[in-house]
Amino acid sequence: MTALADALSALDYAAVAVFGATGALAAARRKHDIVTFGFFAAVTGVGGGTLRDLLIGAPVFWVGRPTYLAVTLAAAIAVWIFGWGRWRERILTWLDALGMAAYAIVGTLKALSFGVPPFSAIVMGVLTSTFGGIIRDVLAEEPSVLLKREIYVSAALVGATAFVGLRLADLAILPASLAGAALAFATRAGAIIFRWSLPGFPGRAPQQGPN
């Protein structure tokens, strides 16, 4: 069980670092200063987990373990030093997919461990893996991930749902976690490579009247 806890903790830190880096990249695009880099990184890195903990009545994870904030700040400094070239942003797109997949499972598992019902735990997993990015986009005045048809939130939902389903089928935590994370990542990878998207509402857009 200790090995499992260590593995989940490593995934947690890795996801925080990746999301922190994406927050710093958003600040880089706007050419902000280093303080804003750190703020964007911290908000993006711990935002989803903070909302999850508040909703399930758990101690907010980074308050008692400030190393999480240190990880986000390290990610911000790394982006500041090494820049945000296209190839680095491409790499971070894939790292973000990995972080999303990991966080969807970590968030769902933590909710289940606090006695949250399965369906609500799935929602907590999705929030954990996506809410930080939503805050980042709002702060950076970029189109929110919720407004894009490209599959992202749905990938987290698929992974979290698969994990809960496998746990209800009495599969052990580690293989269920790996299967759920792999499915979430594969779904997101398909969206990146093949530009998968969900169909939009078929109704006709309203006509614009005179201003």
Distance CA 149, CA 152 (A): 9
* pLDDT score of 184 more than 50: yes
- Cβ–Cβ < 8 Å for 16, 106: no
Q: Is the pTM of this model over 0.85?
A: yes
- Tell me the per-residue pLDDT of 66-101, one tens digit each, with 9 for 90 and over: 999 999 999 999 999 987 676 777 887 888 898 899
Q: Is the pLDDT of residue 37 over 50?
A: yes
Q: State pLDDT tens for residues 94-137.
A: 888 988 998 999 999 999 999 999 999 999 999 999 999 889 88
Query: If you average pLDDT over every residue of the chain, what do you get?
Result: 88
Contact status, residue 126 vs residue 104, Cβ threshold 8 Å: yes
Task: Express as a percent the part of the chain with pLDDT over 70.
Answer: 92
pLDDT of residue 53: 96
> What does the pLDDT average to over 23-38?
90
Q: How far apart are CA 100 and CA 87, in angstroms?
A: 20
Name which of 179, 174, 144 is nearest 159 in CA terms: 179
pLDDT value for 209: 45
Phi, psi for residue 174 in degrees, rounded to 5: -65, -50
* Predicted pLDDT at 195: 87
CA dist 183 and 100 (Å) reads: 11
* pLDDT for 210: 44
Indicate the pLDDT class of residue 143, thresholds 50, 70 and 90: confident
Nearest in space to 124 (alpha carbons), one of 174, 164, 166: 164
How many other C-beta atoms can be found within 10 angstroms of the C-beta atom of residue 104? 36
Bridge partners of residue 96, in order along the sequence: none
Q: Which token pair is 46?
A: 């711990």
